[in-house]
A and B are shown apart, each in its own frame.
Chain A
Amino acid sequence: MTVNKARLIQGNQACAEGAIAAGVTFFAGYPITPSTEIAEIMSEELPKIGGKFIQMEDEIGSMACILGASLTGKKVLTASSGPGISLKQEAIGYASMAEIPCVIVNVQRLGPSTGGPTSTAQGDIMQARWGTHGDHPIIALCPATVKECFDLTVKAVNFAEKFRTPVYVLLDEIIGHMREKVILPNKEDIEIVDRKRPSTKPGDYKPYRTDESLIPEMADYGTGYKWHVTGLHHDETGFPTTKPALVEKLMNRLMSKLDKYKEEILLWQEESTDDAEVLIVAYGSTARSALDAVEKLREAGIKVGLFRPITIWPFPEEALARLAANVKGVIVPEMNYGQLYLEVERICKDKCKTSGLFKANSEPITPDEIIAKVREVL
């Protein structure tokens, strides 16, 4: 194994490079701060490798466009922020329903509305889970370092392909724009996952029939399978149905298919949790502040640990519950008015005290603010 050179790159660039390393050959997007660098890099790099980039007329179109490309068998990516992510919701729902693999990078900025284009925030946590209408499966991964932007974008592409679901990579402006020293892995050391193609001949192909894997096989458009895709409820042939039993069968499968793979999907980091009396639950750039806080508090003899969900949705519930049972309190610092806190509170409230440290004014939460909060809770 050869070791690559250390480089200084932005989080957004690491996302773009991760996508290409994972096999993404199609990107559609629309300019918006603070995610635009991803589109710029993809426009430069994709045609060099025979891939395609298109700047669509709007965010809605760019989301729809990558779904079309995915139906031809390509691995696809789009990236956006704030208002752009709101506009993409309709087609994200379609991707969940029709099970079209796709990855959406959301470099979070401060909302609501136009809010603060260059201001950091973590205000799209609940939107990532429930942004489009109706019950639907979703995966959201949340990097805290530039290196992780690369690694988690690779993972997001793999998850999208394997589980046939839209996958978010949720950055915040700080992570997207900061430059950091990274050593990226070699191509041959990166695990690549491709979607399952049909194991049957075209005549026998039922596009939404599944075995115990719960993930149907997917034919590329143009390979003779002549299958139908719709956003309507459908049976295993892919054609619309309004029969309650069939609608329920589809919805039950969609809503449970990720449960089966929790062990693989749920990622988190634990730091100094073994003897912790207070647990900080933080993610994205806020987790970096929390790590500093943990180090400083430990130096002062205070037993505090960090639980960092890397997979935000589905949430690593059991792992947190296990830790919460052994601490006095859990603190959730986040750059919003308490979004992931709702989930943490639900999981921990019978086990320990929970409290939040919320800040959404374009400034990051500092280690000192977290330290003060921990002292307050103790």
Chain B
Amino acid sequence: MRPDLQELFRMEKLPHIWCPGCGHGIIMRAIAEAIKESGIDMDKTVIVSGIGCSSRAPGYMNFDTCHTIHGRALAFATGIKLANPELNVFVITGDGDATAIGGNHFIHAARRNIDLNVILFNNNIYGMTGGQYSPLTPTGSKATTSPYGNVERNFDIPTLAIAAGASYVGRGTAYHDKLLKDLIIAGINNKGFSLIEAISMCPTSFGRRNKLGNAAKMLELQKTAAINVKAAQKLPPEKLEGKFLIGELHNKPAPEFTEEYDKLIAKLRKEAEQ
């Protein structure tokens, strides 16, 4: 590990529990780099997670950290941020945690445009429980609970977040880790709800069952299937077939919830003084 990043980790808690080839470690490092480069006060930074493989990340990170309940990270984080808006609040969550059991909190936190930096580790599967299909498992893909191929359709997380009201939305991958770090920094700088989808890979529970090869092959797939949104604008639709967009997908500043609430408090104070 880069020596200058060590203060951001609870070094004694490493190595992490993730399987060999898992993309989560790369994404966690990108978050640490982003925090470091953004220059925010690390004593005033809180990292909240739910339940699942990705949600173990805060345990390794040297901040005030909260490993909460399945799906509820955003609700806890909303309480933390609203109670003390001075804090920089990060949420680390997974595809199942954020969009299945926590789907309601996800859309409403985005709707409020509360200043949270959400990094959603998307590995297309419930990894911790051994590989059941999630709302991000592609149609047709195999999981222990979709042994004949997933019958359901899957979400597109950025579209969901944008529709719900997020003011900053980006997507990176474990392969495009530099881009991922830059997107997280941009999210930190956005005063509002920032959602960064980080495409991860789970060779153990998703790749193996769907014959996607080892971790290197899965990373390769991220490289070939991803197209930067800027490049995509110049391409004809047929060239985008089977591809997914990465980069800054949405950046539209909007009034932030805790600031608006503080304005209300100031207004009531002023009225009371008069």
Is A134 positioned at the interface, with any CB of B under 8 Å from its CB?
no
Is B40 positioned at the interface, with any CB of A under 8 Å from its CB?
no
Is B265 positioned at the interface, with any CB of A under 8 Å from its CB?
yes
Q: A56-B75, A68-B75, A226-B43 are in contact. Are A239 and B13 (CB under 8 A)?
A: yes
On whether the beta carbons of B67 and A52 are closer than 8 Å, the reply is: no
CA distance A153 to B104 in the complex (A): 31
Which of B59, B71, B78, B79 has most A Cβ within 10 Å?
Answer: B79
CB B176 to nearest CB in A, in angstroms, measures: 30
Q: What per-residue 1/0 map shows which CB atoms of A77-103 lie under 8 Å from chain B? A: 000000000000011001000000000
On whether the beta carbons of A228 and B76 are closer than 8 Å, the reply is: no
Q: A56-B78, A61-B104, A240-B59 are in contact. Are A26 and B65 (CB under 8 A)?
A: no
Which of A61, A73, A74 has most B Cβ within 10 Å?
Answer: A61
Determine the residue in chain B with the shortest Cβ distance to A56. Answer: B75
On whether the beta carbons of B75 and A64 are closer than 8 Å, the reply is: yes
On whether the beta carbons of A91 and B87 are closer than 8 Å, the reply is: no
Is A225 positioned at the interface, with any CB of B under 8 Å from its CB?
yes
Is A39 positioned at the interface, with any CB of B under 8 Å from its CB?
no
- Chain A contact residues, majority secondary structure: mixed
CA distance A58 to B83 in the complex (A): 19
Is A358 positioned at the interface, with any CB of B under 8 Å from its CB?
no
Determine the residue in chain B with the shortest Cβ distance to A58. Answer: B104
On whether the beta carbons of B75 and A69 are closer than 8 Å, the reply is: no
CA distance A60 to B71 in the complex (A): 10
Determine the residue in chain A with the shortest Cβ distance to B44. Answer: A222
Residue from B67, B76, B82 in contact with A64 in the complex, judged by beta carbons closer than 8 Å = B76
Q: What per-residue 1/0 map shows which CB atoms of A283-307 lie under 8 Å from chain B? A: 0000000000000000000000000
On whether the beta carbons of A48 and B268 are closer than 8 Å, the reply is: yes
Is B46 positioned at the interface, with any CB of A under 8 Å from its CB?
yes
Is A210 positioned at the interface, with any CB of B under 8 Å from its CB?
no
Determine the residue in chain B with the shortest Cβ distance to A225. Answer: B64
On whether the beta carbons of A68 and B79 are closer than 8 Å, the reply is: yes
Is A126 positioned at the interface, with any CB of B under 8 Å from its CB?
no
On whether the beta carbons of B105 and A61 are closer than 8 Å, the reply is: yes
Q: What per-residue 1/0 map shows which CB atoms of A50-75 lie under 8 Å from chain B? A: 10101011101110111111111110
On whether the beta carbons of A228 and B86 are closer than 8 Å, the reply is: no
Residue from A50, A69, A226 in contact with B63 in the complex, judged by beta carbons closer than 8 Å = A226
CB A83 to nearest CB in B, in angstroms, measures: 16
Is A115 positioned at the interface, with any CB of B under 8 Å from its CB?
no
Is B144 positioned at the interface, with any CB of A under 8 Å from its CB?
no
Q: A61-B72, A64-B68, A64-B69 are in contact. Are A54 and B82 (CB under 8 A)?
A: yes
CB A206 to nearest CB in B, in angstroms, measures: 14
On whether the beta carbons of A222 and B67 are closer than 8 Å, the reply is: no
A227 neighbours in B (Cβ, 8 Å): 64-65
Is A244 positioned at the interface, with any CB of B under 8 Å from its CB?
no
Is A231 positioned at the interface, with any CB of B under 8 Å from its CB?
yes
Task: State which size class the interface on A falls in.
Answer: 35 or more
Is B272 positioned at the interface, with any CB of A under 8 Å from its CB?
yes
A68 neighbours in B (Cβ, 8 Å): 48, 66, 75-81, 83
Residue from A54, A58, A64, A228 in contact with B65 in the complex, judged by beta carbons closer than 8 Å = A228
CA distance A86 to B76 in the complex (A): 18
Determine the residue in chain A with the shortest Cβ distance to B272. Answer: A48
Which of A26, A28, A91, A228 has most B Cβ within 10 Å?
Answer: A228
A130 neighbours in B (Cβ, 8 Å): none
Is A232 positioned at the interface, with any CB of B under 8 Å from its CB?
yes
CA distance A58 to B75 in the complex (A): 10
Is A229 positioned at the interface, with any CB of B under 8 Å from its CB?
yes
A71 neighbours in B (Cβ, 8 Å): 64, 66, 76, 79-80
B58 neighbours in A (Cβ, 8 Å): 228
Determine the residue in chain B with the shortest Cβ distance to A64. Answer: B75
Determine the residue in chain B with the shortest Cβ distance to A54. Answer: B82
Residue from B44, B84, B108 in contact with A57 in the complex, judged by beta carbons closer than 8 Å = B108
A90 neighbours in B (Cβ, 8 Å): 69, 72
B82 neighbours in A (Cβ, 8 Å): 26, 52, 54, 65, 69
CA distance A73 to B64 in the complex (A): 13
CA distance A150 to B83 in the complex (A): 24
Is A221 positioned at the interface, with any CB of B under 8 Å from its CB?
yes
CA distance A28 to B78 in the complex (A): 10
Is B228 positioned at the interface, with any CB of A under 8 Å from its CB?
no
Q: What per-residue 1/0 map shows which CB atoms of B30-69 lie under 8 Å from chain A? A: 0000000000000110101000000000110011111111
Q: A57-B104, A64-B75 are in contact. Are A231 and B68 (CB under 8 A)?
A: yes
On whether the beta carbons of B69 and A72 are closer than 8 Å, the reply is: no
On whether the beta carbons of A47 and B264 are closer than 8 Å, the reply is: yes
CB B10 to nearest CB in A, in angstroms, measures: 8
CA distance A225 to B43 in the complex (A): 8
B84 neighbours in A (Cβ, 8 Å): 72-74, 221-222
CB B16 to nearest CB in A, in angstroms, measures: 13
Q: What are 7 A-B pairs with beta-carbon distances under 8 A?
A: A52-B82, A56-B75, A65-B82, A72-B79, A221-B64, A230-B59, A230-B67
